[in-house]
Structure formats: C-alpha cells, structure tokens
C-alpha cells in the first residue's frame, strides 16, 4: 500500500527538484501526446527545446528569447513579492495594459518633437500607469477589506475596454485611414525603445528585467522589508508580533508589482510591439503568474523560468510550422508544465511511504 506522509519539515531539496522533474515529466508526456498526434516525439521535443537555442537560426531566436522573456520576468518578479507575503495580485495583465497606454500616450503627446527627455518621461509614465491600476485593489483592500484577487482580476477587463477605446479613439493614428491603432513608436526616434546593440534583442526592457531580478534578490535577502515579506507569508501571526505593518506591506507589494507590470507594458509598446492596438495585450500578465511559481518565487528561479516559458513559446511556433503540430497541442504542452509542477510540489511537504500505516 502506498500512502502520503507529511514531512516534519518541508524538503529543501524537493522544492528545487520539483521544477526540474516537472520539465522532464512534461517532455515525456508531451512526447507521448505528440506521438499520439502522429508526429515524431523526439523531433518535436528537439524542435521546441533545442532549435531556438542551438539550431540553424539560433542567431535569430536567441535574441527573440530575450524579447519574449523580458516582460515575463519583469512582471513575475513584482508578483512574487506579493505572492510571498500572501498578497495576490492577479491583475498584472491590466497593469501591463495601463503602463503601455500611459507610456505610449506620453510619447505620442510630444510627437513629432525629438528630445532625449521623452523616453525617460515615458518610462516614468508607464510605471505610474501600472502603479495606479494596482493601487485601486490595494486601497480597496486596506480601507474596506475587499478581496484583492477579485478586484485586480476584474480591473483587467476594464483595462482591456480602455485599451480598445484608446486604439479606436484618442490614440488612433490620424494618418491611419480610419483604421484602429496608434502611430508606430518604432518610427518615432525619441520614443522608440530600440535594441541597444542591433540584432542582440537587448532593449531597455531586458535591462530593466535584469535590474529587477538583482533588486528583488537584495530586497529579500538583505533588507528589512524583504524580511517582513517573507515572515508575513510564512507566519502571519509572528509577523504581527515582530511589528510588521500589514497595510504598508499590501500597498508596497501591490504597488511594486503594478509598477513593474506597467514598465513591462511600456517597454513592449515602445519597442517590439510599437503600437497601441485593440489586441495589444497577449497574456503576459497571466503567464507571469505561472513563471513566478515555476521559479519558486525566487528571483533567480524566475529568471530561469521566464527563459523556459519563452523557449516553449518560440519553439512551439517553430514546431507548428515545421512539423504541423496544432497550436492547441502546444498549449496543452505548456499547461502540462504547470500541472506537473503542482503535482511534484506535493512532495515538498509530503513523502511517499510504502507499507502499512504505523499505529499512531
């Protein structure tokens, strides 16, 4: 007989082994899924994980990994601070949208003036946009005790409507023949978040993501606030006794995650995307939740997890066109990753025992 037994202490080893095991299990079961669809499982897995990194055109895909991974990492870092303290900001997608709108609107307000001050202003505006959007659920929580999960999630849909309205109205390209969508910021030098070295994929958003990783690491490891975050998540009662102010913690964690999500949106709209359009947001805010957990809410882990998610997206698209795998199969594959992670997470706190239950 097999049964689960609670570990006296959470296994440190398993906490780090679970993501690795989840990736391996995903490869195995994903391979089976692809085989069931009549595709060569090894070739499929190779296409998804190997081609973007070491294939014939890796010189193109490697920079794309940075472009795809940067917003994920930036948002996930912000979310992880709150998640560690048990503060659940589920609405990063909305904060991402608002950051993009604020940033793009600031840039477009100056069009066609060229000045080196415009881009820094856009960064500030983008951060502000995301921060404001996150402060709504934060203030409602600390003032009226509302549930931040629901409020932040609902605000995503509000932000989407706002985005559509901006793309169709206020920010619409006056030279766009009545079609929706703003001017393309890639064609506006002062506002363009261009690659720092051509062909490297390295834009300011990537730099910001790396800074955020370092900043979060230092905050959690060295700073008093980081201690407050950790202790609140692990032992809320102990946190109270040690003098943590829960109101300030909620405001900080929500605000910081909103700010980083807003930055991610701003860097995206000014760079790789270029335009405010109706469908500007593609789910980074939600995928970042997976990235945060896959990375164990640890800054370095998130960096790796963001890279991994980006890899499956890019490799997935390659597999679609080269092998004819349907998009749905790729999505199932990505879903498996989270599923197996949660499954293996069980073993962080429990272990398998063979044999009879011992008499208690």
Give whole-number Cα distances, 255 to 25, 32, 67, 138, in Å.
Answer: 36, 43, 24, 8
Residue 93 contacts other proteins per CB under 8 A: no
Tokens of 182: 């703003």
The reply on whether position 243 binds other proteins by CB under 8 A is no
Do the beta carbons of residue 227 and residue 102 sit within 8 Å? Answer: no
Task: Tell me whether residue 58 or residue 124 sits nearer to other proteins (CB atom).
Answer: 58
Burial group, residue 41, by CB count within 10 angstroms (0-12, 13-18, 19+):
middle
- Candidate segments 31-39, 109-117, 234-242, 278-286, binder of other proteins by CB under 8 A: 278-286
Is residue 40 a contact residue for other proteins (CB under 8 A)?
no
What gap in Å lies between CA 79 and CA 267, rounded to an integer?
18
The residue among 54 and 57 lying less far from other proteins, judged by its C-beta, is 57
Q: Contact at 8 Å (CB) between 103 and 271?
A: no
Within its chain, how far is the Cα of 333 from the centroid?
A: 18
Count of other CB atoms within 10 angstroms of residue 40: 13
- Residue 58 CB-density burial (10 A; 0-12 exposed, 13-18 middle, 19+ buried): middle
| CB 130, CB 96: distance < 8 Å | yes
Per CB under 8 A, the list member of 137, 272, 299, 307 interacting with other proteins is: 272
Q: Which of 197, 175, 163 is nearest to 273 (CA)?
A: 163
Residue among 78, 181, 255, 306 that touches other proteins (CB under 8 A):
181
Which CB atom, from 61 or from 102, has the smaller least distance to other proteins? 61
Q: In terms of CB distance, is 68 or 141 closer to other proteins?
A: 68
State yes or no: residue 59 binds other proteins (CB under 8 A). yes
Q: Please identify, using beta-carbon distances, which residue of 54 and 60 lies nearer to other proteins.
A: 60
Cβ atoms of 330 and 324 closer than 8 Å: no
| Stretch of 31-39, 109-117, 176-184, 244-252 lying at the interface with other proteins (CB under 8 A) | 176-184
Site residue total, other proteins (CB under 8 A): 45
Among 47, 131, 228, 268, binds other proteins (CB under 8 A): 268
Asked if 178 touches other proteins (CB under 8 A), the answer is yes
**Binding stretches for other proteins (CB under 8 A):** 56-57, 59-61, 64, 67-68, 161, 164-165, 168-169, 172, 177-181, 184, 186, 198-199, 268, 272-275, 277-280, 282-283, 313-314, 317-318, 320-322, 324, 326-328
């Amino acid at each position: 007989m097999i049964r689960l037994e609670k570990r006296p202490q959470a296994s440190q080893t398993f906490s780090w082994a679970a993501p690795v095991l989840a990736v391996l299990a995903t490869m195995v079961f994903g391979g089976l899924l692809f085989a069931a669809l009549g595709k060569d499982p090894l070739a499929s897995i190779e296409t998804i994980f190997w081609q973007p990194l070491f294939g014939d055109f890796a010189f193109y895909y490697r920079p794309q990994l940075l472009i795809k991974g940067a917003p994920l990492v930036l948002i996930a870092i912000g979310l992880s601070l709150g998640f560690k303290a048990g503060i659940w900001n589920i609405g990063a997608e909305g904060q991402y949208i608002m950051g993009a709108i604020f940033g793009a609107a600031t840039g477009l307000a100056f069009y066609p003036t060229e000045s080196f001050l415009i881009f820094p202003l856009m960064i500030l505006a983008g951060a502000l946009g995301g921060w404001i959007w996150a402060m709504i659920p934060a203030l409602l929580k600390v003032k009226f005790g509302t549930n931040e999960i629901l409020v932040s999630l609902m605000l995503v849909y509000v932000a989407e409507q706002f985005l559509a309205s901006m793309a169709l109205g206020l920010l619409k390209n006056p030279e766009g023949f009545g079609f929706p969508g703003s001017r393309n910021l890639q064609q506006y030098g002062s506002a363009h978040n261009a690659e720092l070295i051509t062909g490297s994929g390295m834009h300011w958003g990537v730099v910001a993501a790396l800074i955020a990783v370092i900043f979060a690491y230092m905050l959690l490891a060295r700073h008093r606030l980081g201690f407050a975050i950790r202790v609140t998540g692990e032992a809320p009662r102990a946190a109270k006794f040690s003098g943590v102010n829960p109101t300030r913690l909620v405001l900080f964690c929500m605000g910081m995650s909103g700010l980083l999500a807003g930055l991610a949106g701003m860097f995206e709209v000014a760079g790789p995307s270029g335009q405010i359009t109706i469908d500007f947001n593609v789910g980074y805010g939600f995928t970042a939740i997976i990235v945060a957990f896959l990375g164990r809410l640890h800054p370095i882990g998130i960096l790796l997890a963001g890279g991994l998610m980006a890899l499956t997206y890019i490799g997935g698209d390659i597999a679609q066109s080269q092998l004819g795998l349907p998009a749905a199969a790729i999505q199932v594959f990505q879903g498996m990753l989270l599923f197996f992670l949660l499954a293996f997470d069980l073993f962080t706190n429990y272990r398998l025992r063979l044999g009879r239950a011992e008499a208690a």
